[in-house]
Structure 1
Amino acid sequence: MAYKWWLWQVGIMILITTTHQDEVVADSVEQPWQTVAEEGASLNRTLKFRFPRAPHLRVAAESWPPHVQVEAVSETTVDHERHRGLTVVRGPMADFLRELAASLNFTYSIVQGDGYWGAPDSNGTWNGMIGMVLRKEVDFGLGPFGLSHQRSQVVDFTMPILRELLHVLVTRPRPQADPWGFLSPFTWKVWVGVLGSLLMVAATMTTLHLGAHGSSFTTHLWTCYQIFVSQILIMHLHHVAIGAGWMGEGVLLRLTFGALTSLLAVKAVPIKYDSLRDVLDDPSLTLLMEGSTALTGLLQKAEDGVYGELAVAVKQRGVRMRASQLQEAAYTHLPGGTHAMFLETPPQTPGGCLSSLQPLIDARIAPVTTCFVFLRILAVREFGLHAVWTRRQTPNISHCLKMPTKLKFQEPYSILHLWAVFLLAAAGMLLASLVFLCELFLYHYSFTSA
């Protein structure tokens, strides 16, 4: 099972560190570790900076495979004895958080929220991880987060680490046999050219045989048609040029007919949805998307254009869900062909993938520890560490990056698959029968008249 992807490019963030200073929060007292970080930033030793005494930070995180997977460690787990009863994270972003903690010398605990990234309600109250940061329930949020102007008014973001694309996932139709596939290689202009070539060759042969007994344009045109349809031709050639031309034409036609015949075994995959417009024009599709994301924030303010239409469609036939529910929803609803899913990262499993692309993310952040996080994220990007972490989390990532363009099916062909060929054959037989009856009638009429 595979899905089509395309659409709109969106920035994604790594961490939300702190709120803006003018934001009203529950606790405006600066933490000790923030004071130490500010003092370290003034020394201009950003890469060498480490907290003298490791502070303990609270990190908000939500499951969003393959980037982040939040798990509650069971009490029966042997390998995580010291973490019994706590919440842990896995995935590329968890690896980044672990390396960042080791580099800056801090410990952390994971706090799971309501399952959303963060968006304001009608009263202006933020939910999700952004709301947790604003209420000082956590020190920062572990993304990746989508950057939007609305979010940037209340929180600060890190610098880019990856680039992410927004996808629309729909069911890829099964390959279907095209009864008229043998005509596909040639456009109508080519067929007109073939007809013109037959007429030109017939005219040339008529010119070369002027005055010969039984030589006429219709006779030579019929001869050219015999060669074109690979019929047996018994004729004495008096010109080497004509013989060589017929031989080359026969070889070329054999190759062409072989290619056309082989196309009968080729199945085509009809692409019903190839753009956002196609999705919007199908009112039967139910639209699935994450709630409280940068995209939903954009749709709240979109009034015209294609995104304005998308906002209306989401209100009428959209279903919003948590990020952790997307993968299950993809396997449950998409195969039926009645749903389309909007998301940044296609859902994947260790044994397969649901899309042809596993893109990276882009990000941007900021304040108290900006200088420290900036250079460390830059190092992660330059040395390709995130790609290594992603491959470790998703072993089939190279397969998902480039889906096969050819699908193999062991399915016998039926008359329904080849009805166009039989239709042409029947039409030819019917035409031949009519011509034969006309010849009999004319012969009988001429004989009676005589």
Structure 2
Amino acid sequence: MDYTSWFISISFLFVHLIGASNATGASPRAVAVKYDWKAPAWDAVNSHRSMQFSFPRAPHFRVAAEEWPPHVYIRTDIEEGSKGRSPQVMGKTVITGPMGKLMDELAHAMNFTYSVVQGDGYWGAPQGNGSWNGMIGTVLRGEADIGLGPFGMSYTRSQVVDFTIPVFIEMLHVIVQRPLPMPDPWGFVAPFTWFIWVGLLVAMVAIMIISFAITNILGFGGPRSLWKHFWATYSVAFSQTFPWKPNGLALQMTCFIWAIVIFIVTRSYSGALTSLLAVKNVPVKYDSLRDVLDDKTLNILMEGSTALTAHLQTVQSGIYYELAKASLTRAKYVKASETYGAAYSLIPKGHYAMLVENVVCRKIYSDYFSLTGRCDFYMSTGNFWQLIYAMIVSKGSPLRELMNVRIQSITESGIYEKWAIDQMPNMTHCLKMPTKVKAHEPYSLLDLWALFMLVGGGLVLATLVFACEFLSSSAAGKF
């Protein structure tokens, strides 16, 4: 144990021994046996004593930190020190943002000073030679006493460092280029589902067969040609009159029912089609991790050396195994401080998807809208990979319990959440994306090409039928 840890342990033990002896009448030795001083019992009495603890003489700690908006900002300040109750500036490196404020509150409450240690820009993951990179590696090598993070808690990380109690909980989302309103060339079939269209076709065939059977069984009522019955049924379906007059009650009732059905269907279709032509669809292609994995042409952006990337190295099945395989050829890893630059430069190109926390997505929304006034990004409604985020200290450090009670009081009161929300003033403007947009401009050929294709197909078919009839008539000597 180094001098700093020894000093904290002795100070913390002294406070507990005196407090417990006065409260219970027990001897200092008995109290020492009751408590494990490297990791004190987490109870109400111990929490109260930890909250009351303050260093008699302010020690100096080194804090490993990397920029990760909106939680952590790191900047260079030309002033030495700071005034008031917020001594964040130690030298030229300054921590701001919600985690900076949290670190500031801890320093003020516990009476210590700190300086910032920056590393390689990563959180921390095990390397092939057994060492760790990132901020975790900085703490393990003794170059820092506290890791600001905040770090996603995982079993692998807990084997080498101690986590504080959680600061917040997050889920990952997919953020992609915001889809643009697109016309639907096949919108003229949209008023009905395919089941309705198939049902209408079946009904038309059934009416044709029934009317043909009635006239042939009764021997009167209409023509006995199946083709003429088909043509009559087809004419009514397109709001045309009967080419012949049906006689007999049975045939007249059959034709009447078909006419009523067609009347209701055509009125419903025309009203729905008018409404559909007034809007344009906004297709959402990537709304979950599964959507991203299914598109083999889409590149994936991820933060490097995170709890997720460490998990991908060992997973053997499931959707994360698929992500691990896809990341071998499709993934581009970025540092925490490079996340926003990568989002702004790569995602608008249209063939990149980024896997980041919900709060990072909202921060991207907020900052981009503040700069441009546009909402060019879309955050998936589907989420995955829930993580608990916390700070870290070296294994067995007595700082952990002293920090825990103060972190708990700040998070449970909602103060930290308020700090985080204050970093994103324009986040709500782009959160709700409509799935349909009212069209104010005239439709172009691109919007209705399917209709013209249908007309063209009909003309080609009619030409082929005409050619067949002409050849058949010529062969019969009619021309």
Name the TM-score class by shorter chain.
0.7 to 0.9
| Stretch deviating more after TM superposition (68-77 or 331-340) | 68-77
Report the counterpart of residue 265 of structure 2 in structure 1: 252
Q: What secondary structure is seen at the aligned counterpart in 2 of 1:125?
A: coil
Deviation at 1:394, TM superposition (A): 0.7
Matches within 5 A, 1:188-337: 188-202=194-208, 213-214=221-222, 221-231=230-240, 246-247=259-260, 249-260=262-273, 262-263=275-276, 266-267=280-281, 269=283, 271=285, 275-276=289-290, 278-279=292-293, 282=296, 285-302=298-315, 307=320, 310-311=323-324, 314-316=327-329, 318-337=331-350
Q: 2:46, 2:79 → 1: CA distance?
A: 42
Instruction: Give the residue type in structure 2 aligned to 1:337.
Output: G
Which has the bigger relative contact order, CA under 8 A and spacing at least 6? 1
Q: Is 1:163 paired with 2:163? A: no
Q: 2:10, 2:431 → 1: CA distance?
A: 44
Report the counterpart of residue 387 of structure 1 in structure 2: 417
Cα shift readout 1:45-70 (whole Å, capped 9, x = no counterpart): 52442315363433222111112111
Report the counterpart of residue 11 of structure 1 in structure 2: none
Report the counterpart of residue 72 of structure 2 in structure 1: 68
> Identity over aligned residues, as a percent?
40
Match of 1:362 among 388, 397, 411: 388
Cα shift readout 1:125-182 (whole Å, capped 9, x = no counterpart): 3332212222333321112212233221110012233222234444355444332233
Sort the Cα spacing of 1:351 and 1:281 in 2 relative to 1 into closer, same or farther, 3 A: closer
Aligned length: 423
Q: 2:439, 2:416 → 1: CA distance?
A: 37
Q: 2:433, 2:444 → 1: CA distance?
A: 29
Query: Does the aligned pair in 2 maintain the 1:73–1:84 contact within 8 Å?
Result: no
Deviation at 1:430, TM superposition (A): 5.0
Normalising by structure 2, what TM-score? 0.70
Long gaps (5+) in structure 1? 1-20, 22-26
Deviation at 1:393, TM superposition (A): 0.7
Query: Does the aligned pair in 2 maintain the 1:280–1:309 contact within 8 Å?
Result: no
Sort the Cα spacing of 1:384 and 1:244 in 2 relative to 1 into closer, same or farther, 3 A: farther
Report the counterpart of residue 5 of structure 1 in structure 2: none
Matches within 5 A, 1:93-108: 93-108=99-114
Query: Does the aligned pair in 2 maintain the 1:144–1:361 contact within 8 Å?
Result: no
Q: Is 1:154 paired with 2:160? A: yes
Deviation at 1:432, TM superposition (A): 5.4
Query: Does the aligned pair in 1 maintain the 2:174–2:379 contact within 8 Å?
Result: no
| Stretch deviating more after TM superposition (152-161 or 128-137) | 128-137
Normalising by structure 1, what TM-score? 0.74
Match of 1:112 among 102, 115, 118: 118
Deviation at 1:332, TM superposition (A): 1.2
Deviation at 1:36, TM superposition (A): 2.6
Q: What secondary structure is seen at the aligned counterpart in 2 of 1:289?
A: strand
Q: Is 1:397 paired with 2:405? A: no
Report the counterpart of residue 54 of structure 2 in structure 1: 51
Q: What secondary structure is seen at the aligned counterpart in 2 of 1:163?
A: strand
Deviation at 1:431, TM superposition (A): 4.9
Report the counterpart of residue 427 of structure 1 in structure 2: 457
Sort the Cα spacing of 1:151 and 1:435 in 2 relative to 1 into closer, same or farther, 3 A: closer
Q: 1:386, 1:32 → 2: CA distance?
A: 30
Instruction: Give the residue type in structure 2 aligned to 1:298.
Output: H
Query: Does the aligned pair in 2 maintain the 1:51–1:104 contact within 8 Å?
Result: yes
Instruction: Give the residue type in structure 2 aligned to 1:266.
Output: K
Report the counterpart of residue 16 of structure 1 in structure 2: none
Query: Does the aligned pair in 2 maintain the 1:115–1:322 contact within 8 Å?
Result: yes
